[in-house]
Structure 1
Amino acid sequence: MAESTSPQNYRLPVDVIPKHYDLTVWTDLVQKKFEGVVHITVDVKKQTSKITLNVLDLELGDVSIHGVFSGTQAERKAVEMQFDRTAQRAIFTFPKSLDAGTDARLTVEFSAELSRKMSGYYLSMGGKDGKTSYSLTQFQPTAARKAFPCWDEPALKATFAITMASHVDSGVNISNMPSISEQVYTPGVASSWLAKKLDVTKNITDWKITRFETTPPVSTYLVAYANGPFAHLESHYTSPISGLTRPLRIYATEDNIAQGQYALDIMRGVMPLYEEVFDLEYPLPKLDILVSSDFDLGGMENWGLIIGKTQYFLLDSDSSSLQVKQYVASMVSHEIAHMWFGDITTMEWWDNLYLNEGFATLMGEKIVLDRLFPEWQLDARFLGSKFYSALALDAKLSSHPIEVECPDANKIIQIFDDLSYAKGASVLRMLAAYVGESQFLKGVSIYLKKHKYKNTITKDLWEGIQAATDQDIPKLMDNWVKEMGYPVVSVAERGDGILVRQDRFLETGPVDHKNNQTIWTIPLNLLTVSADGSHSIRSDLVLDDREMVVPLDSSQPFKLNAGTTGFYVVQYSAELLEKLGQQVVSPNLPFSTQDRVGLVRDAFSLVKAGYTSIGTVLDLVDALSKASEHLVPWDACATGLSYISATWWEHPKIIDQLNAFRRSLFIPFVKRLGIDPSPQESLHEEQLRVRSVEQAADAGDAWVVGELKARFAHFVKTGEESKIPSALRNITYRIGVQEGGREEWTFVKRLTQEPRDPAQGLAAMAAIGHSRDLQLAAETFRYALKDVRDQDALYYIRSLQANVTARRFLADSVMERFDELEKRYAGTFTFNGWLEAAFGALTSEEDYTRISDFFKDKNTATYELPLRQTLDTIHSRGQWLRRSTEELAGWLERRKA
């Protein structure tokens, strides 16, 4: 595999830096193009005749500068323009040098096509017929340079005054700030550039001009604007700090705007909570969300104008499941968290991306949303959705530190992963638990206020929290963000207490000396129960050496990492794990839901890596089945058993016996709770019912599969979905396609094209690849590449990946057409997902060698990280197969007997 090469100087020179942009953009949705002019007020720090800034895929017109040359104000045209496509820069040379210590005004004209690439300023097609055109921006991380010439680095903040010119009948113009005027164009009212542009237009009155208020200082990747026939819903909230009322809007095309009400309600609910938590008022006069049919991310936190996918922001509140509502609420709250973390205060460079994304994940999806929906138990949900996915990725040798060097645009886009988001959030959650959440939030408030409208690095955050807690935060946290990986804390019982030891944890097993150099400062968070039943948690206990002895009476119940707040796994002996497994499900002992999740998920992590036997973890699951009906341990058990099934997918005898075990665990819940929801069921019972039906169907239970198949058949025959509970839509569609033929596949294909709501479309996309007919699998693959939106193709590919019948066909097909796919998706967030979807479910050492050889002679600079991570997954599963197949077969045989 080719290594990425970095330019010697990957940051822009700072001899000239921007202070203010006057940006005018003319959009023609009919001709699918845009033109514009940008006047940039710059601060000349050093005498120079050259100005270097970012430009990519733009045709430039006149370039001039008005400034001070040898003490005299003058305007000069550029005498030379040089372009470096690798560094994505333009260098303008002027006939004389600008004087240092002065301001100048750079003017650049530009134009480009409105492409469908979902990057820069681009074209989307939506509406009921899919033919409604509109334009919008997606600049993160380095695509503002595709829309206008700029200093496209987060630290080079400036103010923006944006003007948009568009067809009168093209709909609405929106941007970060409210509009201050909008009028049909008449000669003499526009800037000289617009006048020159529009005065030669055949029908001058066909154009309108919208001017927007000037922004506070903002990074270029957070600038946003859009033009199209958008409808909107409107609400407002009242600031608990100032008492001011701010408008809130959600924009979408007319056909689906009604499905934006839920997201708007979440906006209204969380905005005052963020102000209270941070003690810092939202500084802009409005906040909008624009929902797009074509978008490369789930959502993007442009200041004052969040943009996101229809699937993640729209829902039918009458028919959507709790899971869909939770996902939309999390997405909306996450992006709003960025209005503070990322927008008011922005990381200095992309190596500190977690200061944006880790915080938005923790604050948006747990801390603040939990205040709105305490019944959702979001801290426990966080473990399944974020914490353990981060642990899984960070257990690879191909992991990277949270704070990682990003020398160029190729590397930047690769670190938008579970380490920047989920691990970042998890270690911040650990810090909040250690110092106390209220003190943590106080420190965060100090940090935000001190660095309002500025850029920051990790040290700035630690200083804020240290000021609030009077603790040595760098000592505790630096290794968690600056080093890759995390520890396994092993526990050995002794006469005088327990011996705890830390070593780096890897999914490939116990580490060698060279990979075991880091010593983390680990909050042990030791929960102990005394003989009289009282309990305590020692939150001050820290392991900051290789090992230490903790005095305690180990004959009484205890557990390390109480609340599963520490970012590590705990290894107990088989005997201690068995005893602890019985204790954590006891209603008489003070173990939390998070403790139960941690015990089960840690056990599965350890067995995958060969730290303990597979029989030990299956014995734990078997014991839980006799002692607990609590949802979350069962959710953790289901996840672990599904991973075992996904690893041994080519061992039919083992899969048959494993499925029998899974059925014995989950069918009793299905029989007790039923398939249909009950008006009296609790939130816990609803989630347990859904999870149990899914597991029983996955394990091939004839009754459950038959029931779901019949309900889907009724839907196909009548077009009426009433027999399918909304929470079981995904598994029902999947079983319908899996157990059916072309008729069922064609029906689901039609649902992907014309869904009643976004959640139905997602369910159909997730189901369509599950046919056991390889001809239909091939048609699904061709359909995904030819006829669906670029943003959606990955859903179809993941559907094929989840189908064991189609898994090898998928890998072969992607390799056959890889050059085409790379050309189509290169430089997008979507492409990174293709690698895992195509190859990540393979499990043999032969697969590892074949995939490695395939990429050996390719330039993998733009996807090096996700490729290595995918290969590591294949390798670790292959090792697990070699190590544990005989033991797993023996355990299943003994249980069967």
Structure 2
Amino acid sequence: MPSLTRVEATARGATITVESYQVDIDLTGGGDLFRSRVEIRFRATPGAATFAEIKPHTLLGVRLNDRDLDPGVLADNRLPLSDLEADNTLVVEAEMAYSNTGEGMHRFVDPADGETYLYAVTFLDNVQRIFAAFDQPDLKASFVLAVTAPPEWTVVGNAELTANPAPGRWEFAPTAPLATYFFSLIAGPYHVRQAEHDGVPLGIYCRRSLAEHLDADAEEIFTVTRQCLDRFHELFTERYPFGKYDQAFVPEFNAGAMENPGIVTFRDDYVFRSAVTDTQRELRATTIAHEMAHMWFGDLVTMRWWDDLWLNESFAEYLGTRVTAEATRFDQAWTTFAMRRKAWGYAADQRPSTHPVAPEEVADAEEGLLNFDGISYAKGASVLRQLVAWLGDEAFLAGLNAHFAAHRFGNATLADLLASLSTASARSELASPAVASNDG
């Protein structure tokens, strides 16, 4: 299936503005399939044409405004939409396939007790494996989720639960504007521990067979979460912007963690089953801080296109290490960064596949994944740490807070960030095109 190109994304972004997604997911069917229905409200240039993306098992129905469209028009993952009006409603119903590859709606049956656990993975362009969407990072919109599932399950989404109108039915509040790759949920007989800090509800989740191990470490996980939240509130003028803060430790997760607003997902290797070293506990703490940093840099203000993926990760790497060292008992986190993370960056930089920290061009979404390495994380974080030393911490934080205020719940680029830092620090050379396109 074709990967969305930057040219296509730019053209679509100039044609439409997405207002909301009303998502209804039915997880009660059993077997390998689930059903989804989405109602998308969006504005468009009258008479224009565009496309939405979906990767269904079976496309059941498509309705654009007052017209039923033939499901047979779906070509690969693209659903063409023509003769758009100024205000549009697209309704798409489909049977979707569960995944066991960490893409879309991942389904895991625990061999310990036979229980089924689900979680949604929408990064980088996998929301279309769950429901139809305009799947690019700069078409942010509010999501309203409803889920039908076995009544004995727990279901958690990005936003607060507002109602259980009937057994097995969960309805959630509208989210703040989110990029499509941040939509997520967990569903299953998850074990939960809950707390609260500074007005923010906190939750941690894992499968039942790991409950005793999560319980043993719950206070440490909550303590690190509280300490990091307090430190970010000291650094940033914007408070945590997404209501509740849940952290779910899920099985067979491809990455270390994912910064879904309101429901961060972690690989459940971080639920320790035996005695571990403090180095492993420090890694869990820096991962918690890394994902929390993304709530501001990545989630509140999101990259416009995947060429700034490095900036997203480098900032979280830098801020996650910094906040861990400043706020938690793991005050040697920068030493660990120097010994382990920078070594990862050095190794990546010595290979034939080395590349600039800031790529000159990312032609399509798939190409964005090629830069997911020690250069984009550790080398980029090292560059940012030097930038902070050069600017001074006060100017850096002033510029970063101005950046958040200017692009709140929107999208921005490296050039936008440098402009904010330039103004805050009175260093005009930061805003030059050469700086914005060169990794130094």
Q: Is 1:259 the counterpart of 2:213 in the alignment?
A: yes
> Quick one: structure 1 residues 263 and 434, their matched pair in 2 at CA, closer, same or farther if it must change by over 3 Å?
same
Matching residue of 1:105: 89
SS in 2 for 1:168: coil
Q: Is 1:77 the counterpart of 2:76 in the alignment?
A: no
> Quick one: structure 1 residues 256 and 477, their matched pair in 2 at CA, closer, same or farther if it must change by over 3 Å?
farther
Matching residue of 1:388: 343
C-alpha displacement at 1:472, in angstroms? 3.0
Q: Is 1:224 the counterpart of 2:210 in the alignment?
A: no
State the distance in 2 between where 1:127 and 1:336 align: 31
Cα contact 1:125–1:293 (8 A) shared by 2 = no
> Quick one: structure 1 residues 103 and 306, their matched pair in 2 at CA, closer, same or farther if it must change by over 3 Å?
same
Query: 4+ residue runs of structure 1 moved beyond 6 angstroms?
Result: 4-8
State the distance in 2 between where 1:415 and 1:286 align: 31
Q: Please provide the CA RMSD for this pair.
A: 2.4
Matching residue of 2:385: 429
Q: Specify which of 98, 123, 126 is matched with residue 114 of structure 1.
A: 98
C-alpha displacement at 1:374, in angstroms? 6.2
Cα contact 1:163–1:209 (8 A) shared by 2 = yes
Matching residue of 1:152: 135
Matching residue of 1:22: 22
Written as runs of structure 1 = structure 2, the 5 A alignment for 1:549-588 is none
State the distance in 1 between where 2:118 and 2:330 align: 40
C-alpha displacement at 1:150, in angstroms? 0.2
Q: Is 1:63 the counterpart of 2:62 in the alignment?
A: yes
TM-score by length of 2: 0.92
State the distance in 1 between where 2:67 and 2:372 align: 42
State the distance in 2 between where 1:475 and 1:214 align: 37
Cα displacement string for residues 394-419 of structure 1 (whole angstroms, at most 9, x for unaligned residues): 24443222222222233122221112
State the distance in 2 between where 1:478 and 1:124 align: 48
Matching residue of 2:231: 273
> Quick one: structure 1 residues 424 and 162, their matched pair in 2 at CA, closer, same or farther if it must change by over 3 Å?
same
> Quick one: structure 1 residues 440 and 111, their matched pair in 2 at CA, closer, same or farther if it must change by over 3 Å?
same
Cα contact 2:22–2:143 (8 A) shared by 1 = yes
Cα contact 2:45–2:84 (8 A) shared by 1 = no
SS in 2 for 1:25: strand
State the distance in 1 between where 2:253 and 2:330 align: 32
Higher-Rg member (1/2): 1
State the distance in 2 between where 1:78 and 1:311 align: 45
Q: Is 1:309 the counterpart of 2:267 in the alignment?
A: yes
Q: Identity rate of aligned residues, in percent?
A: 25
State the distance in 1 between where 2:240 and 2:29 align: 34
State the distance in 2 between where 1:319 and 1:98 align: 60
Cα displacement string for residues 313-347 of structure 1 (whole angstroms, at most 9, x for unaligned residues): x236x832111110110111111111111110100
State the distance in 2 between where 1:360 and 1:37 align: 34
State the distance in 1 between where 2:322 and 2:132 align: 39
> Quick one: structure 1 residues 143 and 436, their matched pair in 2 at CA, closer, same or farther if it must change by over 3 Å?
same
State the distance in 2 between where 1:18 and 1:58 align: 25
The aligned amino acid for 1:324 is Q
Structure 1, unaligned stretches of length 5 or more?
Answer: 67-74, 185-206, 239-244, 485-519, 521-897
Q: Is 1:237 the counterpart of 2:231 in the alignment?
A: no
Cα displacement string for residues 334-382 of structure 1 (whole angstroms, at most 9, x for unaligned residues): 1111111111010001100122111110001x21111123663222322
State the distance in 1 between where 2:29 and 2:225 align: 30
Matching residue of 2:416: 460
SS in 1 for 2:96: strand
Cα contact 1:177–1:284 (8 A) shared by 2 = yes
> Quick one: structure 1 residues 416 and 322, their matched pair in 2 at CA, closer, same or farther if it must change by over 3 Å?
same
Cα contact 2:36–2:96 (8 A) shared by 1 = no
> Quick one: structure 1 residues 329 and 6, their matched pair in 2 at CA, closer, same or farther if it must change by over 3 Å?
closer
C-alpha displacement at 1:52, in angstroms? 0.3
SS in 1 for 2:12: coil
Q: Is 1:138 the counterpart of 2:121 in the alignment?
A: yes
C-alpha displacement at 1:143, in angstroms? 0.6
Matching residue of 1:208: 168
> Quick one: structure 1 residues 460 and 168, their matched pair in 2 at CA, closer, same or farther if it must change by over 3 Å?
same
SS in 1 for 2:336: helix
State the distance in 2 between where 1:180 and 1:475 align: 45
Q: Which has the higher helix share?
A: 1
TM-score by length of 1: 0.46
State the distance in 1 between where 2:144 and 2:59 align: 21
Cα displacement string for residues 69-93 of structure 1 (whole angstroms, at most 9, x for unaligned residues): xxxxxx11125753343xx422145
C-alpha displacement at 1:440, in angstroms? 1.3
SS in 2 for 1:111: strand
> Quick one: structure 1 residues 84 and 418, their matched pair in 2 at CA, closer, same or farther if it must change by over 3 Å?
farther
Matching residue of 2:399: 443
C-alpha displacement at 1:30, in angstroms? 3.1
Higher RCO by CA contacts (8 Å cutoff, separation 6 or greater): 2
Q: Is 1:377 the counterpart of 2:343 in the alignment?
A: no
Cα contact 2:56–2:97 (8 A) shared by 1 = no
> Quick one: structure 1 residues 378 and 139, their matched pair in 2 at CA, closer, same or farther if it must change by over 3 Å?
same
Q: Is 1:297 the counterpart of 2:255 in the alignment?
A: yes
Matching residue of 1:172: 154
Cα contact 1:157–1:217 (8 A) shared by 2 = yes
Cα displacement string for residues 570-615 of structure 1 (whole angstroms, at most 9, x for unaligned residues): xxxxxxxxxxxxxxxxxxxxxxxxxxxxxxxxxxxxxxxxxxxxxx
C-alpha displacement at 1:475, in angstroms? 6.7
State the distance in 2 between where 1:254 and 1:5 align: 38
Cα contact 2:117–2:207 (8 A) shared by 1 = no
State the distance in 1 between where 2:155 and 2:111 align: 17
State the distance in 2 between where 1:477 and 1:431 align: 17
The aligned amino acid for 1:78 is L
State the distance in 1 between where 2:116 and 2:177 align: 31
C-alpha displacement at 1:60, in angstroms? 1.4
The aligned amino acid for 2:22 is D
> Quick one: structure 1 residues 331 and 259, their matched pair in 2 at CA, closer, same or farther if it must change by over 3 Å?
farther
State the distance in 1 between where 2:192 and 2:92 align: 34
State the distance in 1 between where 2:226 and 2:213 align: 16
State the distance in 2 between where 1:124 and 1:359 align: 32
Cα displacement string for residues 202-240 of structure 1 (whole angstroms, at most 9, x for unaligned residues): xxxxx62110000011001001112100111112211xx
> Quick one: structure 1 residues 353 and 8, their matched pair in 2 at CA, closer, same or farther if it must change by over 3 Å?
closer
Cα contact 1:125–1:294 (8 A) shared by 2 = no
SS in 1 for 2:316: helix
Q: Is 1:283 the counterpart of 2:241 in the alignment?
A: yes
SS in 1 for 2:230: helix
Matching residue of 2:39: 39
State the distance in 1 between where 2:409 and 2:327 align: 28
Cα contact 2:120–2:184 (8 A) shared by 1 = yes
C-alpha displacement at 1:483, in angstroms? 4.1
Cα contact 1:182–1:209 (8 A) shared by 2 = yes
State the distance in 1 between where 2:32 and 2:160 align: 25
SS in 1 for 2:74: strand
State the distance in 1 between where 2:99 and 2:79 align: 22
C-alpha displacement at 1:163, in angstroms? 0.5
Cα contact 1:341–1:359 (8 A) shared by 2 = yes
Q: Which has the higher strand share?
A: 2
Written as runs of structure 1 = structure 2, the 5 A alignment for 1:550-699 is none
State the distance in 1 between where 2:246 and 2:29 align: 22
> Quick one: structure 1 residues 182 and 108, their matched pair in 2 at CA, closer, same or farther if it must change by over 3 Å?
same
Cα contact 2:306–2:365 (8 A) shared by 1 = no
SS in 2 for 1:448: helix
Cα contact 1:10–1:408 (8 A) shared by 2 = no
The aligned amino acid for 1:163 is A
State the distance in 2 between where 1:418 and 1:461 align: 22
Number of residue pairs matched?
432
SS in 2 for 1:24: strand
State the distance in 2 between where 1:336 and 1:166 align: 29
Cα displacement string for residues 482-540 of structure 1 (whole angstroms, at most 9, x for unaligned residues): 346xxxxxxxxxxxxxxxxxxxxxxxxxxxxxxxxxxx4xxxxxxxxxxxxxxxxxxxx
